[in-house]
Amino acid sequence: MKKILFSSLLALTAMVCLQINANAQFSKGDKKVNLGIGLGSIGANASIEYGVMDDLGVGLFASYERPSTGLIGAIAGVRYSYNEISIGPRAAYHLNRVLNMKDEKFDLYVAGGLLYRHVTYPYDYWYGSSLKSSYGYINLLARVGAGFQFTDNLAGFAELGTGGSWVQAGISFKF
C-alpha cells in the first residue's frame, strides 16, 4: 500500500511539473533582493543577486541570529544564548530549466557560498557569574530554496540549509 501511494504521489508530481507551460524565470542581468526572517530562532537575513548568465546569479548574503534556551532555560534557572553575524559571497543556480519546470511563477534553486561568521557567547548563570567568548570562523553556505512570484517585481521565498537560520522565509524584490 505504501509503495502504491508513493508511486502515485511521484507520478502526480511529475505530471504537474511537466504540464506547466512557460519558461525559466531568472535571466542574465536580473537583479534580486531577498529580505527574510529565521524561523525556529530569532534571526534576519538579506541577500542580493545579479544574473551573470541565464539561471545563475551571484551576490552577497548576510544574516543575524540569536538562538537561546528560551522558556526551558528560564525554568531551569540557566539563560543561554548567543549572537551570530554571517556575511559572504553567495551564488544561486535556478533549476527551472534543468527540471523542465515551465511555470514562471515558481522558482526552485540551490545556493552556496562561503561565510565569515562572528559569534559572541554571553553565558549568564543563575548564581550571578558570567563568561563571555567571541570568535570568528569561515563556514559553508548551502541552501535549497523556492520562490513564488506574486507580481513581476515581488515574490515570496522559503529556504532550508546552512548559513543563518536553518529555515528562512521572506520576500524578494526583482529589478
CA distance linking residue 58 with residue 90, whole number of Å? 6
pTM of the entire predicted model: 0.74
pLDDT digits (tens, 9 = 90+) for 34-43: 999 988 778 8
Q: What is the pLDDT of residue 121?
A: 77
CA torsion sign, 154 to 27 to 33 to 99? positive
- Give me 136's grid cell: 570568528
Q: What is the pLDDT of residue 22?
A: 39
- Give me 101's grid cell: 519546470
Identity of the amino acid at 151: T
Q: How high does pLDDT run on average in the chain? A: 80
Pick the more confident residue, 65 or 76.
65
pLDDT exceeding 70 applies to what percent of the chain?
Answer: 73
Q: Which stretches within 22-144 are classed as H helix? A: 70-76
Q: What is the pLDDT of residue 130?
A: 60
Whether the predicted pLDDT of 133 surpasses 90: no
Q: What is the mean pLDDT of residues 34-58?
A: 92
Q: What is the pLDDT of residue 10?
A: 38
pLDDT digits (tens, 9 = 90+) for 69-118: 666 656 666 666 778 999 999 999 999 999 998 888 999 999 999 999 99
Pick the more confident residue, 126 or 19.
126
Binning pLDDT at 50, 70 and 90, where does residue 12 land?
A: very low
Among 146, 149, 136, CA closest to 167 = 146
Q: Where does residue 30 fall: left (phi above 0), alpha (psi -120 to 50 degrees), or beta otherwise?
A: beta
Q: What is the pLDDT of residue 20?
A: 37
Q: What is the mean pLDDT of residues 30-59?
A: 93
* Domains along the sequence of the chain with CATH: 22-174 (2.40.160.20)
Binning pLDDT at 50, 70 and 90, where does residue 66 land?
A: confident
